[in-house]
Amino acid sequence: MSGHHQRTSDVHAEAIRKFNQHDQRYTSQRRLIVTVLAAADRPLIIQQLIKRASSTKKVLAQSSLYRNLVVLENVGVVQRVFSTDEVARYELNDEILGHHHHLVCSKCGEVLDVRIPEALELNLDAALLQIAKRSGFKLDQHRLDLIGRCSKCS
């Protein structure tokens, strides 16, 4: 159940590739955001991003943070995660982080990453493919959230 799906150097290499594709610059601030997200085991809210970045001895400039997150989202490095509260959470794109699911706390809004065993994923995909097919829908991927109460709230 960890976010460490890829080595951080691989994550940056993939990020650089996406930035080049979109003719955008992979600045040190954007790199810092990616470093922090790559080390996290869950999607992070803004305050967590800033706090975790400070422990790397580098300063995450709050003034440009939102703009940098928008750019990271647009080039496909970062994605927003939706929870039961209104607070924005960010994680690395599925393509980089690898396919996973979320445990979502309906009380505090906390989101945890969770990986389902591969055999179960395959069964799930096969079943969902059939369900989608019946509606004439071509399935590309699935998202599945598990809603409940986290260990602090239960």
Give the interface with Zn ion as residue ranges (CB under 5 A).
105, 107-108, 110, 121, 150, 153
Q: Give 70 or 122: the residue with its C-beta nearer to Zn ion.
A: 122
C-alpha distance from residue 17 to each of 26, 59, 60, 97, 127 (Å): 10, 25, 23, 15, 34
For helices 28-39 and 8-21, angle between their N-to-C axes, nearest 10 degrees: 140
For the CB of residue 99, give the shortest distance to Zn ion in the complex, in Å.
Answer: 5
**What count of other Cβ atoms lies within 10 Å of the Cβ of residue 45?**
19
For the CB of residue 116, give the shortest distance to Zn ion in the complex, in Å.
Answer: 6
For the CB of residue 123, give the shortest distance to Zn ion in the complex, in Å.
Answer: 10
For the CB of residue 142, give the shortest distance to Zn ion in the complex, in Å.
Answer: 6
For the CB of residue 121, give the shortest distance to Zn ion in the complex, in Å.
Answer: 5
Q: Give 60 or 81: the residue with its C-beta nearer to Zn ion.
A: 81
The distance from CA 61 to its chain's CA centroid, rounded to whole angstroms, is 21
The pair of structure tokens assigned to 79 is: 């994605």
Q: Give 73 or 125: the residue with its C-beta nearer to Zn ion.
A: 125
**What count of other Cβ atoms lies within 10 Å of the Cβ of residue 105?**
20
Q: Give 24 or 82: the residue with its C-beta nearer to Zn ion.
A: 82
Residues 6+ apart with CB under 8 A from 92: 3, 11, 34, 37, 38, 77, 78, 79
Q: Give 70 or 127: the residue with its C-beta nearer to Zn ion.
A: 127
